[in-house]
């Protein structure tokens, strides 16, 4: 099993080792896994191209490391606990052996359908056990999964299907989400109108709602697995073969298909899981994220299952049937570690503490957060009311691109400080650069968060666009990976994340590119142009503020445009990207050279009218006053 750090001294020692000799450090971690053939060289890299190869020529299958490797000790131990949306529906527990059989059987179904090593498979599903089974079955046969969060629109789904050129989509008839039923198969049908690459759709029956099954293309999950063997010989993969593609927003319009490879991701997700959460055998781990995001990939599925953990998968939402649901689940399964987002905590705070009454939370040992900086109020509430003052909080900083937790306290080992992610994981080497690329060493410095050495979990490329990978992450600061985040190192050497320095906003812990939202708004027939910025939002962390210029007003007037703009974004991207505020403006503040002055719009959106900085390059300085007057409160 992956080595666990158990003391602060141990952390300091490991960290030093990992920096002095990163190759030897990661080789030692990788030794704990099952490789069909050992690597020739632990690492070959350069950040110019960039080209990063971990465990070069090593051969393995990640599912062999989850199943065959764990089977000896954990055959009859719980692997996945599944809690349904409705509390009175029966939950499901799958042992390692049961899960293994189901993965094998579905792997055999994939083979029958004609999916081969290297093929891409899109998974668009609610949080049901078949989602976990589907992704692991892909990995078993060497197919590349690309999971699309089921809250995304048909448009966004179509874009991702076409970008990956997937042959197969796996979905369900409908999805339960709180008191809503979402017609997800219909969304898939709509997306597939323009996806000639897709030959088949596998559909899980979840709600039994009425849906259309297209002859020759669509098959039911329960039909396709019928009579298939529960044994399957896994496909031998190279350490650097792609495990999955996961899309994330960027500062330009098109989402980026982040590519993760097998060997490095395996070692990194398992190592960080075990150490950050201090997982011990038989603990029950509950990550509340959706598997459609990287958090769910790394900390519901891969990290925990590689470590032989008991991982909880929850289909529903924290406020259904009421705001006590998460705590009810903690009580029901005696959860030991819970991992959620600051936005969820802030939202639950508004419902008050009555939802905590009669909930036994004494099993909890560790509380985790991810997605954005956790503000002090939320931190203290989490600490006092959920952890009862006894549980360390791990504020985990990382990204879809980093593959696993990168800066974080290790629970109970690295002393915490509210709103600080604290210190880097062993093997992760952050640096702070000023805007000219100078490294700011020492304490009390602030600048751009970069990384100077590869770590195994890092992205390898952007699918189909290596040039964009280089430009986005490896060009702004030569020979460094650039995270896009601002950061401060304080007098104790602790890291405090300061938010994005580019045009990406973090809304309810989700990463959204403002350009992508603008593109969606601009599709509106009456919209001439638009600018989207983030503003501080009490619950969501950041809210979405859209400034919109219209060529004319529709019969519904400004209110009509506002509504249809919001509707349009929901349709094109999905509800997560829906603007909170839409202001119709005559013009956007631009420089003489035609560049929108977002800095000013950000301040207006934040109700901060002081210090607009240098406005001398503005084409029409009077415009600013007009926009301020018309702002949406």
> Which positions touch ligand WT7 (CB under 6 A)?
248, 294-295, 370-373, 395-400, 421, 483-485, 497, 500, 506, 511
CB 89 to ligand WT7: min, Å: 29
Measured from the CB atom, the residue of 242 and 406 that comes closer to ligand WT7 is 406
Measured from the CB atom, the residue of 348 and 407 that comes closer to ligand WT7 is 407
Is it true that the peptide bond before 50 is cis, omega within 30 degrees of 0?
yes
Going by C-alpha positions, the residue among 369, 392, 389 that lies closest to residue 278 is 392
CA distance 318 to 447: 36
Say how many CA atoms lie within 13 Å of 607 toward its Cβ: 6
Measured from the CB atom, the residue of 102 and 297 that comes closer to ligand WT7 is 297
Output the DSSP codes for 577-592.
G--SEEEEESS--BBT
Q: Taking phi first (over 0 means left), then psi (-120 to 50 degrees means alpha), and beta for anything else, what does residue 347 get? A: alpha
Measured from the CB atom, the residue of 70 and 511 that comes closer to ligand WT7 is 511
Going by C-alpha positions, the residue among 559, 533, 563 that lies closest to residue 546 is 533
**What is the 3 state secondary structure string of 336-376?**
CEEEECHHHHHHHHCCCHHHHCCCCCCCCCEEEEECCCCCH
At 483, list the tokens.
């995270």
Q: Provide the angle, in degrees to the nearest 10, between the axes of the packed helices 129-141 and 96-113.
A: 60
CB 486 to ligand WT7: min, Å: 9
Q: What is the dihedral of CA 602, 607, 609, 615, to 10 degrees?
A: 20
Output the DSSP codes for 452-514.
-S--TTS--EETT-HHHHHHHHSTTTTTSEEEEEEEEE-TTS-EEEEEESSSEEEETTEEEEH
Measured from the CB atom, the residue of 158 and 395 that comes closer to ligand WT7 is 395
CB 459 to ligand WT7: min, Å: 10
In the three-class reduction of DSSP (H, G, I as helix; E, B as strand; rest coil), residue 412 is classed as coil
Measured from the CB atom, the residue of 108 and 400 that comes closer to ligand WT7 is 400
At 97, list the tokens.
């052996």
CB 522 to ligand WT7: min, Å: 24
Length of the chain: 633
Residue 329 and residue 312 in contact, taking contact as beta carbons nearer than 8 Å: yes
Measured from the CB atom, the residue of 63 and 249 that comes closer to ligand WT7 is 249
Say how many CA atoms lie within 13 Å of 121 toward its Cβ: 30
At 110, list the tokens.
């994939």
Measured from the CB atom, the residue of 248 and 530 that comes closer to ligand WT7 is 248
CB 295 to ligand WT7: min, Å: 5
Q: Which residues are CB-neighbours of 177 under 8 A, at least 6 positions away?
A: 85, 126, 316, 317
Measured from the CB atom, the residue of 54 and 339 that comes closer to ligand WT7 is 339
CB 4 to ligand WT7: min, Å: 22
In the three-class reduction of DSSP (H, G, I as helix; E, B as strand; rest coil), residue 229 is classed as coil
When CB distances to ligand WT7 are compared, the closest residue is: 511
Q: In this structure, what DSSP letter does residue 223 have?
A: H
- 356 φ/ψ angles, rounded to the nearest 5 degrees: -95, -15
CB 326 to ligand WT7: min, Å: 18
In the three-class reduction of DSSP (H, G, I as helix; E, B as strand; rest coil), residue 19 is classed as helix
Measured from the CB atom, the residue of 224 and 432 that comes closer to ligand WT7 is 432
Measured from the CB atom, the residue of 237 and 259 that comes closer to ligand WT7 is 259
CB 346 to ligand WT7: min, Å: 14
Measured from the CB atom, the residue of 67 and 293 that comes closer to ligand WT7 is 293
CB 373 to ligand WT7: min, Å: 4
Which residue is listed with tokens 């709602």?
A: 209
CB 485 to ligand WT7: min, Å: 5
CB 273 to ligand WT7: min, Å: 13
CB 157 to ligand WT7: min, Å: 18
């Amino acid at each position: 099993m992956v080595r666990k750090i158990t003391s602060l001294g141990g952390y300091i020692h490991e960290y030093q080792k990992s920096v002095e000799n990163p190759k030897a450090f990661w080789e030692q971690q990788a030794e704990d896994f099952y490789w069909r053939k050992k690597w020739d060289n632990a690492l070959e890299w350069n950040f110019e191209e960039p080209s990063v190869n971990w465990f070069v020529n090593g051969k393995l299958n990640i599912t062999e490391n989850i199943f065959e490797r764990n089977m000896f000790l954990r055959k009859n131990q719980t692997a996945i606990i599944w809690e349904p949306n409705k509390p009175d529906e029966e939950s499901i527990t799958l042992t390692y052996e049961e899960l293994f059989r189901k993965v094998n059987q579905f792997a055999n179904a994939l083979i029958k359908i004609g999916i081969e090593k290297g093929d891409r498979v899109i998974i668009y599903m609610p949080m049901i056990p078949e989602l976990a089974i589907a992704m692991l079955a892909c990995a078993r046969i060497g197919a590349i999964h690309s999971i699309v969060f089921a809250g995304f629109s048909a448009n966004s789904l179509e874009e991702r299907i076409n970008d990956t050129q997937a042959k197969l989509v796996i979905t369900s008839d409908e999805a339960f989400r709180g008191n809503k039923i979402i017609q997800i198969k219909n969304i898939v049908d709509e997306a597939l109108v323009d996806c000639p690459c897709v030959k088949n759709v596998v559909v899980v029956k979840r709600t039994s709602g009425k849906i259309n099954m297209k002859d020759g293309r669509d098959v039911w999950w329960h039909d396709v697995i019928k009579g298939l063997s529960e044994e399957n010989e896994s496909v031998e993969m190279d350490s650097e073969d792609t495990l999955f593609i996961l899309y994330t927003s960027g500062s330009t319009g098109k989402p980026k298909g982040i590519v993760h490879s097998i060997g490095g991701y395996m070692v990194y997700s398992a190592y960080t899981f075990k150490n950050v959460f201090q997982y011990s055998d038989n603990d029950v781990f509950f990550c509340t994220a959706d598997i459609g995001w990287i958090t769910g990939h790394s900390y519901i599925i891969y990290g925990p299952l590689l470590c032989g953990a008991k991982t909880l998968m929850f289909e529903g939402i924290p406020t259904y049937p009421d705001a006590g649901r998460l705590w009810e689940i903690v009580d029901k399964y005696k959860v030991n570690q819970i991992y959620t987002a600051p936005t969820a905590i802030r939202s639950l705070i508004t419902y008050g503490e009555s939802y905590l009454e009669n909930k036994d939370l004494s099993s909890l040992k560790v509380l985790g957060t991810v997605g954005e900086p956790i503000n002090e109020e939320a931190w203290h509430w989490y600490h006092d009311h959920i952890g009862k003052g006894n549980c360390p909080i791990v504020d985990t900083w990382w990204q879809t691109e980093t593959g696993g937790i990168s800066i974080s306290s290790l629970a109970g080992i690295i002393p915490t400080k509210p709103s600080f992610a604290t210190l880097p994981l062993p093997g992760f080497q952050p640096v702070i650069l000023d805007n000219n690329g100078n490294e700011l060493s020492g304490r009390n410095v602030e600048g751009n968060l970069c990384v100077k050495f590869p770590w195994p979990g890092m992205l390898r490329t952007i699918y189909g666009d290596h040039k964009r990978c280089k430009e986005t992450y490896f060009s702004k600061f030569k020979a460094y990976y650039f995270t896009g985040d601002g950061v401060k190192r304080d007098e104790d050497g602790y890291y405090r994340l300061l938010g994005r320095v580019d045009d990406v906003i973090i809304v309810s812990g989700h990463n959204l590119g403002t350009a992508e939202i603008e593109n969606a708004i601009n599709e509106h027939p009456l919209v001439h142009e638009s600018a989207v910025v983030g503003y501080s939002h009490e619950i969501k962390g950041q809210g979405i503020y859209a400034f919109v210029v219209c060529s004319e007003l529709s019969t519904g007037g400004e209110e009509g445009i506002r509504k249809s703009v919001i509707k349009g974004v929901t349709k094109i991207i999905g509800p997560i990207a829906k603007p909170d505020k839409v202001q119709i403006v005559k013009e956007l503040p631009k420089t003489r050279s035609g560049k929108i002055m977002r800095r000013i719009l950000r301040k207006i959106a934040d109700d901060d009218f002081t210090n607009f900085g240098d406005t001398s390059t503005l084409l029409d300085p009077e415009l600013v006053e007009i926009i301020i007057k018309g702002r949406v409160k």
